[in-house]
Amino acid sequence: MNIFVCLKQTFDTEEKIVVENGQVKEDGVRFVMNPYDEYAVEEAIKLRDANGGSVTVITIGPERAQEALRTALAMGADEAVHITDESLFGDEYTASNVLAAYLKDQAYDIILCGNQAVDDGSGQVAIRVAELLNIPHIGTITKLEVNGTDVVAHRDAEGDLEVVGGKLPILVTAQQGLNDPRYPSLIGIRKANKKPLANPGAGDLNVAGDIAKKSVVLETFLPAAKTGGRILEGDNESRVKELVGLLRTEAKVL
């Protein structure tokens, strides 16, 4: 089974965001594999171990994004593709066209992606890729079964669970609860660090049409800082009464 995983390197979710000169500051920030993509990588490895075949991980991003690919290789992925050509960087529209241009020339049975990236959180790229490749998708899955060419997935639809059927080739996006991603083994890390990464550029990919980004960021800003509010004092009954009073009269939310 030929399995592909599209992944992204993102800020560690523990990082505080600092805006400097109108941009999110990246110096000194710890980068990790997007947590949702970890579920996708884990599921891909499990599928390969059960069915044979190979797992190829792909990312678009600067040199540092290599770390996320190495992590995936150390977890057990077989091959990695790192698109570092800056002419292929842009927004979700650009990224999906670039990934689709790469994938359309590959023999794939299933493509896994995280359901969104924790940085921009827009959740567009994977589904756009499925549409551009003209294959079906199942989004936000929490369980995946593949039997021959039959696919059954559990989809998290805002609290409800949908059991969705389909056939390969298909793209699925991983939601929390799908699995517990493994930690890379030491031997895996050693092997992963030696592995060559494929690095196709714009000339190799035959990207059709205009892929220039459509979304322009005019401004980046932080939310108003919260200073911490009022800690209520007294016994439980009086504090609760005071709280309810404040919620009604001061905050006006009841």
Partner 1 sequence: MSRTILVLADLRNGAVRNVTFEMLSAAKRLANGGTVIASIISNNGSTIDTAALAHYGADKVLVADDAQFENYVPDAYAAVLDAMIKEVNPNLVLMSHSAIGRDLAPKVAARFAAGQVSDIIDVTEDGGNLVFTRPIYAGKAFTKNTVAGEIVFATVRPNNLTAGEPDVSRSADKEVKVWAELSADSLRTFIKEVVKKSTGGVDLSEAKIIVSGGRGVKSQEGFKPLYDLAEVLGAAVGASRGACDADYCDYALQIGQTGKVVTPDLYFAVGISGAIQHLAGMSNSKVIVAINKDPEAPIFKVADYGIVGDLFDIVPILTEELKKVLAE
Minimum CB–partner distance for residue 221 and partner 1 (Å): 6
Query: Can residue 16 be called a binding residue for partner 1 (CB under 8 A)?
Result: yes
Q: Which stretch binds partner 1 (CB under 8 A): 1-9, 50-58, 191-199, 217-225?
A: 217-225
Minimum CB–partner distance for residue 188 and partner 1 (Å): 24
Query: Can residue 26 be called a binding residue for partner 1 (CB under 8 A)?
Result: no
Query: Can residue 27 be called a binding residue for partner 1 (CB under 8 A)?
Result: no
168: how many CB neighbours lie within 10 A of its CB? 16
Q: Which stretch binds partner 1 (CB under 8 A): 1-9, 59-67, 105-113, 245-253?
A: 245-253
Query: Can residue 30 be called a binding residue for partner 1 (CB under 8 A)?
Result: no
Query: Is residue 229 within 8 Å of 235, Cβ to Cβ?
Result: no
Nearer to partner 1, 152 or 189 (CB): 152
Nearer to partner 1, 13 or 206 (CB): 13
Nearer to partner 1, 62 or 165 (CB): 165
Minimum CB–partner distance for residue 179 and partner 1 (Å): 12
- Phi, psi of 65, rounded to the nearest 5 degrees: -65, -15
Residue 116 vs residues 16, 23, 122, 141, 175: alpha-carbon distances, Å = 20, 21, 6, 12, 9
Q: Which of residues 162-191 bind partner 1 (CB under 8 A)?
A: 162-167, 170, 175-177
Nearer to partner 1, 52 or 159 (CB): 159
Judged by CB under 8 A, the residue of 51, 84, 89, 128 near partner 1 is: 128
With residue 6 as reference, give the H or E element that holds it: strand 2-6
Q: Which of residues 77-96 bind partner 1 (CB under 8 A)?
A: 91-93, 96
Residue 132 vs residues 100, 112, 146, 205, 206: alpha-carbon distances, Å = 6, 15, 23, 15, 14
Nearer to partner 1, 190 or 214 (CB): 214
From the list 84, 79, 12, the residue with the least C-alpha distance to 41 is 79
Query: Is residue 110 within 8 Å of 172, Cβ to Cβ?
Result: yes
Query: Is residue 173 within 8 Å of 192, Cβ to Cβ?
Result: no
CA-to-CA distance for 83 and 132, rounded, in angstroms?
19
Query: Can residue 206 be called a binding residue for partner 1 (CB under 8 A)?
Result: no
The residue whose two tokens read 């992606």 is 113
Residue 241 vs residues 229, 231, 232, 249: alpha-carbon distances, Å = 17, 14, 10, 12
Judged by CB under 8 A, the residue of 158, 186, 194, 196 near partner 1 is: 158
Minimum CB–partner distance for residue 86 and partner 1 (Å): 20
